[in-house]
Amino acid sequence: AIVLNQSPSSIIASQGEKVTITCRASSSISSNYLHWYQQKPGAFPKLVIYSTSYRASGVPSRFSGSGSGTSYSFTISRVEAEDVATYYCQQGSSNPNTFGAGTKLELK
Amino acid sequence: EVKLVESGGGLVQPGRSLKLSCAASGFSFNDYWMGWVRQAPGKGLEWIGEINQDSSTINYTPSLKDKFTISRDNAQNTLYLQMSKLGSEDTAIYYCAREGRGYVMDAWGQGASVTVSS
Protein backbone atom coordinates (compact mmCIF):
# COMPACT_ATOMS: atom_id res chain seq x y z
CA ALA A 1 0.00 0.00 0.00
CA ILE A 2 1.13 3.55 -0.68
CA VAL A 3 1.97 5.36 2.54
CA LEU A 4 1.28 9.07 2.68
CA ASN A 5 3.48 11.01 5.07
CA GLN A 6 1.92 14.30 6.03
CA SER A 7 3.87 17.07 7.72
CA PRO A 8 3.70 18.79 9.99
CA SER A 9 1.32 16.86 12.21
CA SER A 10 0.14 20.12 13.76
CA ILE A 11 0.36 23.81 13.00
CA ILE A 12 -0.37 26.82 15.18
CA ALA A 13 -0.91 29.86 13.01
CA SER A 14 -2.11 33.43 13.34
CA GLN A 15 -5.05 34.77 11.40
CA GLY A 16 -3.85 36.06 8.06
CA GLU A 17 -0.79 33.83 8.04
CA LYS A 18 0.10 31.51 5.16
CA VAL A 19 0.30 27.81 6.00
CA THR A 20 1.51 24.90 3.92
CA ILE A 21 1.05 21.18 4.50
CA THR A 22 3.13 18.58 2.70
CA CYS A 23 2.07 15.10 1.69
CA ARG A 24 4.81 12.75 0.55
CA ALA A 25 3.96 9.40 -0.99
CA SER A 26 6.02 6.22 -0.68
CA SER A 27 5.53 5.65 -4.44
CA SER A 28 4.70 7.94 -7.33
CA ILE A 29 1.06 8.94 -7.69
CA SER A 30 -0.74 10.37 -10.67
CA SER A 31 -1.73 13.91 -9.81
CA ASN A 32 -5.31 13.11 -10.80
CA TYR A 33 -5.56 10.84 -7.78
CA LEU A 34 -4.35 13.05 -4.92
CA HIS A 35 -7.00 14.83 -2.90
CA TRP A 36 -7.31 16.93 0.26
CA TYR A 37 -10.06 16.97 2.89
CA GLN A 38 -10.94 19.24 5.78
CA GLN A 39 -12.49 17.87 8.96
CA LYS A 40 -13.72 20.37 11.52
CA PRO A 41 -14.12 19.22 15.13
CA GLY A 42 -17.17 16.99 15.56
CA ALA A 43 -17.98 17.00 11.84
CA PHE A 44 -17.58 14.67 8.88
CA PRO A 45 -14.76 15.26 6.38
CA LYS A 46 -15.34 17.63 3.49
CA LEU A 47 -13.54 17.64 0.15
CA VAL A 48 -11.44 20.76 -0.34
CA ILE A 49 -9.02 20.03 -3.20
CA TYR A 50 -9.28 17.24 -5.78
CA SER A 51 -6.82 16.03 -8.36
CA THR A 52 -3.98 17.95 -6.71
CA SER A 53 -5.05 21.47 -7.54
CA TYR A 54 -8.77 21.83 -8.23
CA ARG A 55 -10.94 23.48 -5.61
CA ALA A 56 -14.19 21.71 -4.77
CA SER A 57 -17.44 23.58 -5.20
CA GLY A 58 -17.80 26.49 -2.78
CA VAL A 59 -14.23 26.32 -1.49
CA PRO A 60 -12.64 29.77 -1.05
CA SER A 61 -9.77 30.77 -3.29
CA ARG A 62 -7.37 31.02 -0.33
CA PHE A 63 -7.11 27.22 -0.50
CA SER A 64 -4.78 25.77 -3.13
CA GLY A 65 -2.83 22.63 -3.94
CA SER A 66 0.10 21.62 -6.07
CA GLY A 67 2.56 18.84 -6.64
CA SER A 68 3.45 15.81 -8.69
CA GLY A 69 5.04 12.40 -8.40
CA THR A 70 5.64 11.72 -4.72
CA SER A 71 5.46 15.25 -3.33
CA TYR A 72 2.29 17.30 -2.90
CA SER A 73 1.38 20.39 -0.93
CA PHE A 74 -1.72 22.14 0.35
CA THR A 75 -1.71 25.85 1.14
CA ILE A 76 -4.01 28.28 2.86
CA SER A 77 -2.83 31.70 1.74
CA ARG A 78 -4.37 33.66 4.62
CA VAL A 79 -5.70 31.58 7.49
CA GLU A 80 -9.11 32.51 8.88
CA ALA A 81 -10.70 31.41 12.14
CA GLU A 82 -13.12 29.11 10.29
CA ASP A 83 -10.17 27.14 8.87
CA VAL A 84 -9.43 25.52 12.23
CA ALA A 85 -9.65 21.83 11.36
CA THR A 86 -7.63 18.72 10.61
CA TYR A 87 -6.56 18.32 7.01
CA TYR A 88 -5.95 14.96 5.31
CA CYS A 89 -4.44 14.01 1.99
CA GLN A 90 -5.73 10.89 0.23
CA GLN A 91 -4.56 8.91 -2.78
CA GLY A 92 -6.73 6.87 -5.13
CA SER A 93 -3.92 5.97 -7.50
CA SER A 94 -3.18 2.55 -6.11
CA ASN A 95 -5.41 0.05 -4.34
CA PRO A 96 -5.92 0.20 -1.41
CA ASN A 97 -6.67 3.90 -1.26
CA THR A 98 -4.95 5.51 1.69
CA PHE A 99 -5.07 8.66 3.79
CA GLY A 100 -2.31 10.66 5.37
CA ALA A 101 -2.26 10.84 9.17
CA GLY A 102 -3.65 14.36 9.19
CA THR A 103 -2.46 17.86 10.07
CA LYS A 104 -4.25 19.70 12.84
CA LEU A 105 -4.47 23.46 12.30
CA GLU A 106 -5.02 25.65 15.33
CA LEU A 107 -5.11 29.40 15.75
CA LYS A 108 -2.62 31.30 17.87
CA GLU B 1 -28.88 17.91 -2.97
CA VAL B 2 -26.60 14.91 -2.51
CA LYS B 3 -27.42 13.18 0.73
CA LEU B 4 -25.89 10.12 2.41
CA VAL B 5 -27.37 8.85 5.66
CA GLU B 6 -25.77 6.01 7.61
CA SER B 7 -27.72 3.86 10.03
CA GLY B 8 -27.33 0.66 12.02
CA GLY B 9 -24.63 1.75 14.43
CA GLY B 10 -24.68 1.19 18.16
CA LEU B 11 -23.21 -0.88 20.97
CA VAL B 12 -22.20 -4.43 20.09
CA GLN B 13 -20.44 -7.15 22.08
CA PRO B 14 -16.99 -8.38 21.09
CA GLY B 15 -17.09 -11.20 18.57
CA ARG B 16 -20.54 -10.26 17.27
CA SER B 17 -21.56 -8.92 13.87
CA LEU B 18 -23.19 -5.69 12.77
CA LYS B 19 -24.47 -4.38 9.45
CA LEU B 20 -24.44 -0.70 8.56
CA SER B 21 -26.57 0.87 5.86
CA CYS B 22 -26.08 4.06 3.89
CA ALA B 23 -29.12 5.52 2.15
CA ALA B 24 -28.28 7.70 -0.83
CA SER B 25 -30.40 10.39 -2.45
CA GLY B 26 -30.04 13.43 -4.69
CA PHE B 27 -27.93 11.73 -7.33
CA SER B 28 -27.98 8.73 -9.62
CA PHE B 29 -26.67 6.12 -7.17
CA ASN B 30 -26.03 3.43 -9.77
CA ASP B 31 -23.62 5.72 -11.67
CA TYR B 32 -21.07 5.93 -8.87
CA TRP B 33 -18.51 3.91 -7.00
CA MET B 34 -19.19 4.08 -3.27
CA GLY B 35 -16.86 3.62 -0.31
CA TRP B 36 -16.54 3.29 3.46
CA VAL B 37 -14.11 5.09 5.76
CA ARG B 38 -13.80 4.82 9.52
CA GLN B 39 -12.32 6.96 12.27
CA ALA B 40 -11.43 5.58 15.69
CA PRO B 41 -11.81 7.99 18.63
CA GLY B 42 -9.16 10.70 18.44
CA LYS B 43 -7.53 9.09 15.39
CA GLY B 44 -7.29 9.77 11.69
CA LEU B 45 -9.26 8.50 8.72
CA GLU B 46 -8.92 4.88 7.65
CA TRP B 47 -10.11 3.78 4.23
CA ILE B 48 -12.08 0.52 4.50
CA GLY B 49 -13.04 -0.27 0.93
CA GLU B 50 -15.11 0.53 -2.13
CA ILE B 51 -17.56 -1.03 -4.55
CA ASN B 52 -18.20 -0.22 -8.19
CA GLN B 53 -21.49 0.50 -9.86
CA ASP B 54 -22.60 -3.07 -10.58
CA SER B 55 -20.83 -4.74 -7.63
CA SER B 56 -18.44 -6.55 -9.97
CA THR B 57 -15.40 -4.96 -8.30
CA ILE B 58 -14.99 -4.62 -4.56
CA ASN B 59 -11.71 -3.50 -3.02
CA TYR B 60 -10.71 -3.61 0.63
CA THR B 61 -7.84 -2.49 2.73
CA PRO B 62 -5.97 -5.78 3.34
CA SER B 63 -6.22 -5.78 7.14
CA LEU B 64 -10.05 -5.71 7.02
CA LYS B 65 -10.70 -7.92 4.02
CA ASP B 66 -11.56 -11.04 6.03
CA LYS B 67 -13.99 -9.43 8.44
CA PHE B 68 -15.79 -6.69 6.47
CA THR B 69 -18.04 -7.10 3.42
CA ILE B 70 -19.27 -4.25 1.25
CA SER B 71 -22.39 -4.60 -0.87
CA ARG B 72 -25.03 -2.41 -2.49
CA ASP B 73 -28.63 -2.51 -3.65
CA ASN B 74 -29.07 -0.14 -6.58
CA ALA B 75 -32.84 -0.59 -6.57
CA GLN B 76 -32.93 0.71 -3.00
CA ASN B 77 -30.13 3.28 -3.46
CA THR B 78 -28.41 1.76 -0.45
CA LEU B 79 -24.84 0.82 0.40
CA TYR B 80 -24.02 -1.72 3.09
CA LEU B 81 -21.12 -2.67 5.33
CA GLN B 82 -21.32 -6.07 7.00
CA MET B 83 -18.87 -6.34 9.88
CA SER B 84 -18.08 -9.61 11.63
CA LYS B 85 -15.90 -10.80 14.53
CA LEU B 86 -15.87 -7.30 15.93
CA GLY B 87 -13.25 -6.29 18.48
CA SER B 88 -12.58 -3.18 20.52
CA GLU B 89 -10.28 -1.97 17.75
CA ASP B 90 -13.34 -1.62 15.52
CA THR B 91 -14.87 1.04 17.75
CA ALA B 92 -15.15 4.04 15.44
CA ILE B 93 -17.37 6.34 13.46
CA TYR B 94 -18.10 4.77 10.10
CA TYR B 95 -18.65 7.06 7.12
CA CYS B 96 -20.00 6.19 3.72
CA ALA B 97 -18.87 8.32 0.80
CA ARG B 98 -19.51 8.74 -2.88
CA GLU B 99 -16.46 8.28 -5.08
CA GLY B 100 -15.90 10.45 -8.10
CA ARG B 101 -13.22 10.61 -10.77
CA GLY B 102 -9.81 9.77 -9.42
CA TYR B 103 -11.47 7.94 -6.52
CA VAL B 104 -12.07 11.24 -4.78
CA MET B 105 -14.60 11.03 -1.96
CA ASP B 106 -16.73 13.99 -2.95
CA ALA B 107 -19.73 13.50 -0.69
CA TRP B 108 -19.87 12.07 2.83
CA GLY B 109 -22.50 10.93 5.26
CA GLN B 110 -22.64 12.21 8.82
CA GLY B 111 -21.31 8.90 10.12
CA ALA B 112 -22.58 5.99 12.22
CA SER B 113 -21.03 5.36 15.62
CA VAL B 114 -20.07 1.78 16.47
CA THR B 115 -18.89 0.85 19.96
CA VAL B 116 -17.61 -2.65 20.61
CA SER B 117 -17.74 -3.44 24.29
CA SER B 118 -19.04 -6.04 26.69
**pLDDT tier at B71, thresholds 50, 70, 90:** very high
pLDDT value at residue A41:
95
pLDDT value at residue A97:
97
Chain B contact set for A47 (CB, 8 A): 104-107
Positive or negative, the Cα torsion across B100, B102, B108, B114?
positive
CB pairs under 8 A between A and B: 70
Q: How does pLDDT run across B45-58, given as a tens digit for each residue?
A: 999 999 999 999 99
Rounded distance, CA B63 to CA B47, Å?
11
Q: How does pLDDT run across B87-117, given as a tens digit for each residue?
A: 999 999 999 999 999 999 999 999 999 999 9
Residues of A with CB under 8 A from a CB of B: 1, 32-33, 35, 37, 39, 44-47, 50-51, 56, 86, 88, 90, 92-93, 95-102
CA distance B44 to chain A (A): 6
Residue A34 host element (H or E): strand A34-39
Rounded distance, CA B96 to CA B23, Å?
9
Tell me how far CA of residue A74 lies from CA of A66, B38, B117, in angstroms: 7, 23, 39
- With a pLDDT cut of 70, the percent of chain A lying above it is 100
Mean pLDDT of the region A79-96: 97
CB contact under 8 A, A44 and B111: yes
With contact defined as beta carbons under 8 Å apart, do B14 and B116 qualify? yes
Q: How does pLDDT run across A52-72, given as a tens digit for each residue?
A: 999 999 999 999 999 999 999
pLDDT value at residue A25:
98
Mean pLDDT of the region A49-53: 98
